[in-house]
Structure 1
């Protein structure tokens, strides 16, 4: 990169895994040109748009069961990985503490998820699905299946496979 180009990684050293593919020559472009470039090519913007559209598909399908897509995902993870602590669940699903609590609290209040007694460390309280939670998951499975088919149709098989491949390569969240 030459001295006149400013990397999007300014302020931190890129690792070989995270080398910028392109840099923006900010000194030679007007602000509008830069924002136009970002608006057209920003992976964050595009993935968030895709996420909102896909989430809406699943939310609509799951609404009759009194849960949303985020809550449904937590039910699935808890039954697959449980009993599991909040911290481990948050790491596994890349949730920060407040988002996890916001999505988990209604599940606990509805008695679909049970939070056990503190373990020997005094802090960790394992989460598990209750019988009602397992029944809800079973009842909502057909709605999920319908939403899944709609989402796959929207992104296409190559897109769905690409998304699953990318998700499989995400690093484990450490905190």
Structure 2
């Protein structure tokens, strides 16, 4: 990849190389999704003994940090589509780890909060998270992990 003066990253180009090969080798989205799948697998493996997977654990943490929180605010903070958020929340609610409050004055939003059992799960699963965090840091390197966190901090909230 070549860094242009305007700060953009231009793919390496070979005149006779097919466009698909250039894209396959240089696509940021493809690489980010590969990294995401590998890291999700690392965290899933470490959290599985606690009866939870990485996307659900992430939601537990977000609800603990920002709750009570509406589904729409949670979705914006974590860049979730509504259907993905619902699919990952359903088991948390069914297991009794997350509770939906009474509807707000608008009659629509039902704030999410952790139950006592959800807080206990978060505390118990912290050892699995810590092991996964160490493994992920080794995979990415300290510098890579630090850069990934810096990139994530700069992302805007979803507007939808």
Q: Provide TM-score, normalisation by structure 1.
A: 0.84
Q: Secondary structure at the match of 1:172?
A: coil
1:81-119 superposed Cα distances (whole Å, 9 cap, x missing partner): 000000000000000000000000000000000001100
Q: Aligned residue for 1:97? A: 82
Unpaired runs of 5+ residues, structure 2, are 1-5
Q: Aligned residue for 1:22? A: 10
Unpaired runs of 5+ residues, structure 1, are 1-16
Q: Secondary structure at the match of 1:124?
A: coil
Q: Which of structures 1 and 2 has the bigger CA Rg?
A: 1
The Cα RMSD (Å) is 1.9
Structure 2 CA distance for aligned equivalents of residues 68 and 50 of structure 1 = 17
Query: Offset of 1:23 from its aligned partner?
Result: 7.6
Q: Secondary structure at the match of 1:133?
A: helix
Task: State which of 144, 148, 153 in structure 2 corresponds to 1:163.
Answer: 148
Q: Secondary structure at the match of 1:95?
A: coil
Change (3 A) 1:24 1:128: same
Query: Offset of 1:174 from its aligned partner?
Result: 1.0
Q: How does 1:68-83 map to 2 (within 5 A)?
A: 68-83=53-68
Structure 1 CA distance for aligned equivalents of residues 39 and 25 of structure 2 = 20
Q: Are 1:47 and 2:32 matched, yes or no? A: yes
Give the count of matched residue pairs: 155
Structure 2 CA distance for aligned equivalents of residues 162 and 41 of structure 1 = 19
Greater RCO (Cα-Cα under 8 Å, separation 6 or more): 2
Q: Provide TM-score, normalisation by structure 2.
A: 0.91
Structure 2 CA distance for aligned equivalents of residues 56 and 143 of structure 1 = 13
Q: Aligned residue for 1:150? A: 135
> Structure 1 stretches (4+) deviating beyond 3 angstroms?
19-25
Change (3 A) 1:23 1:150: closer
Structure 2 CA distance for aligned equivalents of residues 127 and 137 of structure 1 = 15
Structure 1 contact 24–34 (Cα < 8 Å) conserved: no
